[in-house]
Amino acid sequence: MTASPVGRDIDRVDGRLKVTGTAPYSGDYPAPNTAHAHVITSTIGRGTITRIDTAAALASPGVLRVYAAPDPRLKLYPVANEYRAFTENYLPLKDSTVHFHGQVIAMVVAETFEQARDAAALVTATYDAQKPRTSLKDEPRVPSGRTVSGSPSDSKMLAPGVDSIDAALAASDVVVKATYEQPIQNHVAMEPHAVLAVWHGGHLTVHAGAQIPYAYAILLAQRLDILPQDVTLITKYVGGGFGARVVLWSDAPLAAAAARDMDRPVKLILTREQMFTLTGHRSHLTQTIRLGASRDGVLNAISHDSVAEMPTTINFPMTPAHSTSDTLYRTPNLSVDAKMVMLDLPGSRAMRAPNEAPGLFALETAMDELAVATGVDPVELRLRNYATVKPTTGLPWSSKHLDDCYRIGAERFGWSKRSAKPRARVDGQWLIGAGMASAVYPATRHPASVRIRLLDDDTAVVSTAISDLGTGGWTMVAIAGADALGIPLKRVTPEIGDSKLPQGAPAVASSATHSTVPLVIGAARNAIAELKRLAVTSPDSPWHGANAEDLRYEDGSLHGDGRSMSFGRLLAAVGSRGLNGTASAPGGAPAEYSYHSFGAHFCEVRVNRFTCEIRVTRFTTVADIGRVINARAARSQLVGGVVFGIGHALLEHNHLELDTGRLASSNMADYMVPVNADIPDIDVHLLDRPDPQLTGPLGDDGGEVGTRSLGARGLGEIGTSGSAAAVGNAVFNATGIRVRDLPITLDKLL
């Protein structure tokens, strides 16, 4: 019997290509006669372009075109209303309006990248400038609108007889109130945003990084006013996304439109600095948390209000209480309210755990402050307020083992040795502190399709148009296929990253694995049903004329009537090169449950008594993510998420110049992210308990193929959710200083 690869430490099937540098990323693809583009960006934050001087650039060696706003040659168009959230609401180079500092105002196309770059430096612009709106404090506030799950961004839940959340707080024995702030943060994916656009007649092939390939192709088609079937997106290898590659930004439409205008391929690779303003960021955000509790720490009321930026061109509606304060703890009184402020800034977008990372920093820091105020241990405080159903709906969880995450994490970390008194542990120059926080992230299934093709050489191809951002998507598809078919992993070929494949699940919201694995199982079952049909209907089959129900499939072979034959041998015997099985699902899951992943973070820091330098020295995370598909990739994802959280807590800040709207730290020298020297060994433990409500293909009775109850949930963002709060709480335990505005830098501790 073939051992299933599910849950084991599996090497990435694409690993050798990546470590040898032979995996082709978007900027690596060649095309005959390729021209190279370079964009020029605005130096004001709001206003109108009065003149762009392109003469010197046009006279430069190798220059083929200079497109300058407004330029009618590019022929770009608005998108349909249902897709407006996934692209900017203005057309690049269409008119002379400047919406933000760093907007594309011109583009040079030349024979080489160097010629385009050098000529671009010669383009100059003059403006009629206005003062940009840049401050959350100075502009009117509007409601954020609906959350990503469709619920209102402002809602209240009050116990019988309670008139308001203020009354509930006033009736509480202990009240904690604080405001928390985070600055603009950027995704900083390793791979630059790159586009190669190639036209063949009226058909466009684009090589670009995309987190939702099918939507990207549709949006690009609408921008160019062509049919979606006339666009092929190739996105096989992507060097990180974190939300920055969800949206169709200006780069792909500009490259594709220029390639059409010039009738030759065009490649456009954004510089690092351009990526900071042209591909989104996490919004500047302030949050006010009020917690009311009894003297022994039992919550009576939670109030969570927020204010975030709303750039004029595109924004992500921040609702940081969603799936955090409205989900995590039992309370009879709850109020959440999210507001946004229209500003003249580069577009903001979802960034890894978009609501949950900032929301949990505020909530879990406030819970630590409540622990201090009541004298209750932070772990015990969370157990006393443990929610056995979702507080706002009363729905049971599909599966929840957060209490075990607390207990196991505390034991692995050595939480019992922590002193509740700040500054109690000292080692020479270093103050030592420990903090913890909860993690929660919604588990969402998206629409998707999978095709499995069984071949006459006893191998199988599993095809679905997901993209792999470095998260292990290639390997996940192969593992699921090997498990479902009962064959060795080496006999399964994953096929992803092409918009012409069956529609894949988006690589967003920790949902690709959660959405894809059940459909792989379903496609395998349908392929085997077709194999049985072929076996009993083909004259050249040894089972011709038999009853398909009497045949049994196991480990890559059919059995029945005293015979056995592998699927490859059967296909060869009947003269077939291969056969297909497909499965599709509309997304969603049974509505009688609430679906989330959970976790607990424990962090130790050392803070220098004299310089206030902060060092994270130990970190433990325990995660409840349902069934683990690839243990190695799962640990890697959680470690990466925690590193993200450490950067969130201690380093990341793109400084905004309020007078100009310029993001002043838009380069890798000034925008700080963690490096190896900043990160200790991170202890990750996976509970690996299948979610019983998330079994195989929905509505299937199990049958004979694969592991029916895989029960996998998402994990890509659970490591980022709450980890910044664990760091901040540890800093407080070490120093006695509570820092509520991120990042926690040494100047705030001096």
Delimit the domains of the chain by residue range.
15-21+445-585, 31-130+190-240+245-279
DSSP reduced 3-state for 333 = coil
Residue 340: its H or E element: strand 334-343
- As to burial, measured by CB atoms within 10 angstroms (0-12 exposed, 13-18 middle, 19+ buried), residue 314 is buried
3-class DSSP string for 376-426: CCHHHHHHHCECCECCCCCCEECCCCHHHHHHHHHHHHCHHHCCCCCCCEE
Indicate the pairing of strand 299-311 with strand 334-343: parallel
Q: What is the dihedral of CA 705, 710, 713, 715, to 10 degrees?
A: -100
State the pairing for strand pair 299-311/460-463: unpaired
The separation between CA 428 and the C-alpha centre of its own chain, rounded to angstroms, equals 41
114 counts as catalytic: no
What span, in angstroms and rounded, lies between the C-alpha atoms of 128 and 135? 21
The pLDDT tens digits for 603-646 are 999 999 999 999 999 999 999 999 999 999 999 999 999 999 99
Q: Where are the alpha helices (DSSP H) in 102-250?
A: 113-120, 165-170, 213-224
Is residue 75 classed exposed, middle or buried when 0-12, 13-18 and 19+ CB atoms within 10 A define those classes? middle
Sign for the CA dihedral angle at 359, 363, 365, 366 comes to positive
Average pLDDT, rounded, for the chain: 95
Of the candidates 452, 506, 483, the residue with the CA atom closest to the CA atom of residue 629: 483
Q: What is the mean pLDDT of residues 288-295?
A: 98
In CATH terms, are 15-21+445-585 and 31-130+190-240+245-279 the same topology?
yes
Q: What are phi and psi of 628, to 5 degrees?
A: -90, 125
Give the DSSP H/E element, type plus range, for residue 432: strand 430-442
Cα→Cα distances 622→254, 407, 463, Å: 45, 9, 33
CATH T-level topology, domain 31-130+190-240+245-279: Aldehyde Oxidoreductase; domain 4 (3.30.365)
What share of residues in the chain are helix, strand, coil (percent, to 5)? Answer: 25, 25, 45
Please say whether the beta carbons of 330 and 385 come within 8 A. Answer: yes
**Once rounded to an integer, what is the mean pLDDT over residues 343-348?**
98
pLDDT at 294 over 50: yes
- Show the tokens assigned to 617: 């020295």
Please report the pLDDT score of residue 695 as a whole number: 65
- Residue 1 — very low, low, confident or very high, per pLDDT cuts 50/70/90? low
pTM summary value? 0.96
Which of 309, 356, 369, 717 is catalytic? The answer is 717
Paired tokens of 704:
């004979």
Taken in order 624, 627, 632, 633, the sign of the CA dihedral is: negative
Q: In what order do the strands lie in the sheet with 557-560?
A: 552-554, 557-560, 563-566
- In angstroms, how far is CA 161 from the centroid of its own chain? 41
pLDDT, greater one: 587 or 308: 308
pLDDT digits (tens, 9 = 90+) for 219-261: 999 999 999 999 999 999 999 999 999 999 999 999 999 999 9
Question: Does residue 709 surpass a pLDDT of 80?
Answer: no
Q: What is the dihedral of CA 57, 62, 66, 72, to 10 degrees?
A: 160
Distance between CA atoms of residues 540 and 688, nearest Å: 46
Q: Given a cut of 90, is residue 151 above it in pLDDT?
A: no
Residue 434 has pLDDT above 60, yes or no: yes
Residue 394 buriedness (CB in 10 A; 0-12 / 13-18 / 19+):
exposed
CATH of domain 15-21+445-585: 3.30.365.10
Task: Give per-residue pLDDT as tens, 156-183.
Answer: 999 999 999 999 999 999 999 999 999 9
**What is the spatial order of strands in the sheet that 430-442 belongs to?**
425-427, 430-442, 596-608, 614-624, 682-686
How far is the C-alpha of 126 from the C-alpha of 242, rounded, in Å?
Answer: 35
SS3 206: strand
Q: How far is residue 488's CA from residue 281's CA, in Å, rounded to a whole number?
A: 42
Q: What is the CA radius of gyration of the chain?
A: 27
Tokens of 483: 């498990």
Q: What is the pLDDT of residues 498-519, one digit of tens each?
A: 999 999 999 999 999 989 999 9
737 pLDDT above the threshold of 80 = yes
Tokens 């000292």 belong to which residue? 426
Specify the pLDDT at position 707: 42
> What residue ranges in 456-611 does DSSP mark as E strands?
460-463, 492-495, 552-554, 557-560, 563-566, 578-585, 596-608
DSSP class of residue 4? P
pLDDT band at 138 (very low <50, low <70, confident <90, very high): confident
Share of the chain above pLDDT 90, in %: 92
In three-state form (DSSP H/G/I as H, E/B as E, the rest C), the secondary structure along 237-248 is: CCCCCCCCCCCE
- How confident is residue 702, by pLDDT bands cut at 50, 70 and 90? very low
Dig out the tokens for 210 from the structure: 């995309």
